[in-house]
Structure 1
Amino acid sequence: MRIYLLVAAIAGGVTWLVTPLIRHVAIEIGAVGEVRKRDVHTVPTPRMGGLGMLIGFVVAMIFASRLPFLSGLFAGGYQMWVILAGGVMISLLGMADDLWDLDWMLKLAGQLLISVFVAWGGLQIISLPLGGQLVTASPSLSMAITAFLIVASINAVNFVDGLDGLAAGIVAIGGIAFAIYSYIIARSSPSYASLATLIDIGLVGICVGFLLHNWHPAKLFMGDSGSMLLGYLITCASIVMTGRLDPASIHASIYLPVFMPILLPILVLFLPVLDMCLAIVRRLAKGQSPMHPDRMHLHHRMLKIGHSVRAAVLILWGWAALIAFGSLMILFFKAQHVAIGMAVAVVVLTIATMYPYLKHRIPELRAENMAMEAARSKAHHAAAPTATEAMESMEAMESVETIGQTGGETGDAAEAHDGEAAGNVETRKND
């Protein structure tokens, strides 16, 4: 384990040292990303940080090839060298996109060609869990599945690379989970040396080294040259790990719950894969290209809720860690205990995720309720005087009728009096 940690330290240290140089080179050659509508940053920032990550990874692997404990991984075949060659090619493709903004179809075609080359060079899914046992796949099917997984992971990490430190942190978390799992698998072999663990630990090292320059506010973006490299390497490590599973001696039921080889990249890259799937469905539903940019990614939604960039990154890291390490904990604890722990973590992360929304929404709801109560009270008070006026009107009408009746009686008395007076006058005349 100490040797792996040394390799990780070398990868991180070299990446940290060369990244400032890469930043100056990016500025000189014009690899500076302009501020677009979908971008979160407001200042043009150099890209192409993936070149520094590539240099750190290659130096760490060359150093590892000279160590007696790990030298056998390089001498026993060409697999590691094929992976390094594919990493260089995928980074060069990403650098071209950082410089010239390649068309998405051209970029996808390049990714597919590189993935097929790596699969043809020996990096393939060896066995598939079918029918309760691990079945060895045919060479053509293995190449197809391998190429698909590599291309999917490359684009998943590329899609989630929208905030400072987000992609590097999520991949580092997944790399740590992968490294622990592959190290446990390697302990059952005569030699503890594991190519999957080596790739994972080098991957974690370059992510940490780059994060020191990429934490918000970032001095440099990894660009497609970095995000594509990270997605490529973490998938290569998972595919290499499947080669250590012996179909004749290991029953598939042991790995089906969590460690199915095809699902391993999805588990540790759950958030990037989810974001990619949602983006593709959303864009196709609108009649747009699957690669059409927008501001509807998960990290954009976190900012709309009210999170700061750093808070959004940390919370998304928490979700990634929950999924990656939650699946890994089944190796050490009972499934029931793991489920309880994950449920508690889900509640905590959900509250943290929705807190800014609730913080602003609850006062708004209270204000709306107060406004509704005030409107109801006003309506009630407006209706009450109307009833009083009606009562007063009725009393006034009754008074008028009473007066009318009184007036009638008075008139009759007056007429009688007049009649009597007239009679008296006539009597006097007669007299």
Structure 2
Amino acid sequence: MREYLLTILVAALVAYLLTPAVRRFAVWFGAQAAPRDRDVHVIPTPRLGGLAMFGGMAAALVVATGLPEMRKVLAGGDVNVGKALLLSGGLIVLVGIADDRWGVDPLTKFAGQVAAAGIFIMQGIQLYVIPLPNGESLSLPPTYGVPLTVLIVVATINAVNFIDGLDGLAAGTVGIAATALFFYAYLLTKTNGLTTLTGATLTAAVLVGMCAGFLPHNFNPARIFMGDTGSMLIGLLLSASTILLTGQFDPAILGSYPLFPLWVPLLLVPAVAAVPFLDMLLAVWRRTNDGRSPFSPDKRHLHHRLLELGHSHRRAVLIMYFWVGLLAAGLVALALTNQQAIVISITAVVAVAGVVLMLGMPRRAARRAAAREAAGPSERPRESV
């Protein structure tokens, strides 16, 4: 665990320290996001934050090669995790830089994402088995494993890209998902007496550090955006950890768990993206119903509605963190415990409390503001001279 913590710390520290330099470079390079009608920021904001995150990833992998146990993870087996992350991450960052600066058509971005998935496959990061409900695993020949791997990579990258709508939302959400994957893999291996040193756990740890280091610069009011450079990169690493975890455990070893521990890696990303994905489906239905293109922008997304309810920008992001964290924690807890009824009950109670607070906080704030206005200047506390 100490080597994992050191890897997380290095990724976070380097990403944090590099971000101001990347911000200055983005301004000089002309990679800035001009405000649009549907945006919540009102001044031009530099992009390319993903460059600092890539630097954090590279630094963490370099340090990991010098750690005695992490060196075994990076060099052992048929999967070259470090080389795969650096090569595919470098490619996706180049595509992101071009998009953040000049704009790239969707087909070119899709080709870059597929190429990054191809690098994963060449380095051994591929979906080889799929767990079945009966506790066994279905081996996948390359005819099926390769396209499914590409699908997972591309879908995860674009799911993260869709989340990136508020300051700090994508970095925080993916950080929560990576933390859940890290503890899931670590606890499952530790409990069953297996080695905790795996490529999946290392990838999740690096991703946690990258997001944690960048988030202070990106939280509202954001001084820099990660851009497609960052959103595609962290989506890529999230897909890598997911694929590496799937099929890592022998179903016979995990027979004591009544629910889907083998399915957690594949279910976690859809669970994390469930709220924004539902928002996307509602947006398509809404625009089509209004006779407009499904891709026409508007200001009726979930985060816009939270702002309209009276939540501040920061509180809206924290609400999204809450729901993502609740879904991720509930899913991992269900897979790692035999007390499913207790987990479901606690999750339901917390969810109800979250809904009450989400709806009630703006109303209480509005009542307090109205009371202060009604009190008038004579009844307000005097300022000290």
Larger radius of gyration: 1
1:123 to 105, 125, 128: 125
Mapped contact 2:264–2:331 kept (Cα < 8 A): no
Distance 1:288 1:140 in 2: 39
Distance 1:141 1:248, change over 3 A: farther
Letter in 2 for 1:162: G
Distance 1:146 1:209 in 2: 29
Letter in 2 for 1:83: L
Distance 2:351 2:19 in 1: 36
2:230 to 226, 232, 237: 226
Mapped contact 2:246–2:263 kept (Cα < 8 A): no
Distance 1:136 1:285 in 2: 43
Q: Secondary structure at the match of 2:166?
A: coil
1:191 to 191, 195, 215: 195
Mapped contact 2:171–2:215 kept (Cα < 8 A): yes
Letter in 2 for 1:342: T
Distance 1:75 1:258, change over 3 A: closer
Letter in 1 for 2:199: L
Structure 1 equivalent of residue 85 of structure 2 = 83
Structure 2 equivalent of residue 163 of structure 1 = 166
Mapped contact 2:50–2:93 kept (Cα < 8 A): yes
| Structure 1 residues 211-257: Cα deviation after superposition (integer angstroms, max 9, x where no partner) | 11111111111111111111111111011111412356555975537
Structure 1 equivalent of residue 356 of structure 2 = 351
Distance 1:58 1:284, change over 3 A: farther
Mapped contact 1:326–1:338 kept (Cα < 8 A): yes
Structure 2 equivalent of residue 14 of structure 1 = 14
Letter in 1 for 2:139: T
Q: Secondary structure at the match of 1:135?
A: strand
Q: Secondary structure at the match of 1:217?
A: coil
Q: Secondary structure at the match of 2:263?
A: coil
Distance 1:46 1:107 in 2: 20
Distance 2:351 2:143 in 1: 41
Distance 2:126 2:200 in 1: 13
Mapped contact 1:12–1:207 kept (Cα < 8 A): yes
| More displaced stretch, 85-94 vs 270-279 | 270-279
Structure 1 equivalent of residue 382 of structure 2 = none
Distance 1:260 1:216, change over 3 A: closer
Letter in 1 for 2:214: F
Mapped contact 1:160–1:297 kept (Cα < 8 A): no
| Structure 1 residues 42-99: Cα deviation after superposition (integer angstroms, max 9, x where no partner) | 0111011010001001110111011111101121244311132111111221111100
Deviation at 1:166, TM superposition (A): 1.0
Distance 1:300 1:191 in 2: 45
2:156 to 153, 157, 165: 153
Q: Which runs of 5+ in 1 are unaligned?
A: 364-431
| More displaced stretch, 244-253 vs 219-228 | 244-253
Letter in 1 for 2:313: V
Mapped contact 1:128–1:134 kept (Cα < 8 A): yes
Mapped contact 2:87–2:119 kept (Cα < 8 A): no
Mapped contact 1:136–1:247 kept (Cα < 8 A): no
Q: Secondary structure at the match of 2:356?
A: helix
1:143 to 126, 129, 146: 146
Distance 1:141 1:288 in 2: 37
1:174 to 149, 172, 177: 177
Letter in 1 for 2:125: L
Structure 2 equivalent of residue 369 of structure 1 = none
Mapped contact 2:264–2:332 kept (Cα < 8 A): no
| Structure 1 residues 366-388: Cα deviation after superposition (integer angstroms, max 9, x where no partner) | xxxxxxxxxxxxxxxxxxxxxxx
Distance 2:16 2:365 in 1: 40
Distance 1:88 1:278, change over 3 A: farther
Distance 2:312 2:210 in 1: 25
Aligned residues: CA RMSD:
2.6
Letter in 2 for 1:56: G
Deviation at 1:129, TM superposition (A): 2.7
Letter in 2 for 1:315: I
Mapped contact 2:130–2:137 kept (Cα < 8 A): yes
| More displaced stretch, 153-162 vs 250-259 | 250-259
Instruction: Give me the TM-score of the superposition, normalised by structure 1.
Output: 0.78
Distance 1:287 1:99, change over 3 A: farther
2:217 to 213, 218, 239: 213
| More displaced stretch, 140-149 vs 247-256 | 247-256
Q: Which runs of 5+ in 2 are unaligned?
A: 369-385
Deviation at 1:295, TM superposition (A): 2.7
Distance 1:248 1:336 in 2: 24
1:311 to 307, 310, 315: 315
1:235 to 2:239 alignment: yes
Distance 1:52 1:271, change over 3 A: same
Mapped contact 2:131–2:263 kept (Cα < 8 A): no
Distance 1:255 1:13, change over 3 A: same
Identity %: 40
User: How many pairs align?
Assistant: 363
Distance 1:127 1:278, change over 3 A: farther
1:342 to 2:347 alignment: yes
Structure 1 equivalent of residue 381 of structure 2 = none
Distance 1:129 1:119, change over 3 A: same
2:299 to 295, 306, 327: 295
| Structure 1 residues 308-328: Cα deviation after superposition (integer angstroms, max 9, x where no partner) | 100101111000110001112
Letter in 2 for 1:236: A
